[in-house]
Amino acid sequence: MLANKYNPKFDKTKEAKYDKISAFRKYAEVAQASYCLKLKTNMGSVENDEDFINALSDKGYSQHFSEEQAKRFANEYQVMAHYKAPKENEGFKEVVSNITNFINDDGFSATLFLDKNTKDYILAFRGTEGSFGGINKINNAIRDFYTDFLLATNEIPNQYFTLVDFFEHTISNIISNNKLIIVGHSLGGHLAQVFCINYPNVIKELYTYTNLRNVA
């Protein structure tokens, strides 16, 4: 019957869709890992890196991995470079200060991962870490509002200048002539897109996400 006739083109289309879904899931996990508060360069350089596993499964940050997920991720990826903004200080005075002093604490954080299986370099931009509540959560909200305002008015947020410096002085020296897979979540998604526009020659793929859940 015609309805049961084999259609290789249809199978290839399904396979392509499955591959794309798998890729989005894979890089969502990388985006999730970029929120880890204890990431350090060279984590994952050895098999079953306990420091990397413990950092990923640390319940001190909102996107923490399950222990099983952390072990698998630590054996599949290596942290090649990591940048995080200076640690925020708590207190109402700091909140008021942050309203006018975003240059000193722009909240930028990015991590360059190496996929040890495919040898791909993945640059992940995270949004602000909102798991701490209280004053720091207010700080994050103020910073995000300010950055969104700049983006809406075609102004360049401070995070982008930090990003350019990180790329030019650190990442470019590591990747050499290799291209990057870019991953960004929330505010990091905005930065990821701006980065791709300004550095099109180093881009292999781009994945952005608006809302992360644990993908284990």
* DSSP one-letter string for 21-79: HHHHHHHHHHHHHTT-TT--TTTTSSTT-HHHHHHHH-TTSTTPPPHHHHHHHHHHEEE
- Would you state the pLDDT for residue 42? 96
Phi, psi of 121 (to 5 degrees): -95, 130
What are the helix (H) ranges across the chain?
Answer: 8-33, 50-57, 67-76, 92-100, 134-152, 158-166, 172-175, 187-198
Share of the chain above pLDDT 90, in %: 49
HSE-CB of 105 using CA atoms within 13 angstroms: 19
- Would you state the pLDDT for residue 89? 43
Q: Which residues contact 201 (CB under 8 A, 6 or more apart)?
A: none
Note whether 71 and 48 are within 8 A (CB). Answer: yes
pLDDT below 70 — which residues of the chain?
1-16, 61-63, 85-107, 128-157, 211-216
Residue 75, token pair as written in the block: 């054996």
The CA–CA distances, whole Å, from 97 to 15, 45, 100 equal 52, 40, 6
DSSP state of 114: E
| Burial grade of 206 (CB within 10 A; 0-12, 13-18, 19 or more) | middle
CA dihedral 59, 62, 63, 66 (to 10 degrees): 30
Residue 101, token pair as written in the block: 């002093």
- Would you state the pLDDT for residue 211? 52
| Edge-to-edge order in the sheet of strand 121-125 | 77-84, 109-115, 121-125, 180-185, 203-209
- Would you state the pLDDT for residue 136? 47
Judging by DSSP bridges, how do beta strands 180-185 and 203-209 pair with one another?
parallel
- Would you state the pLDDT for residue 62? 61
- Would you state the pLDDT for residue 11? 55
- Would you state the pLDDT for residue 191? 87
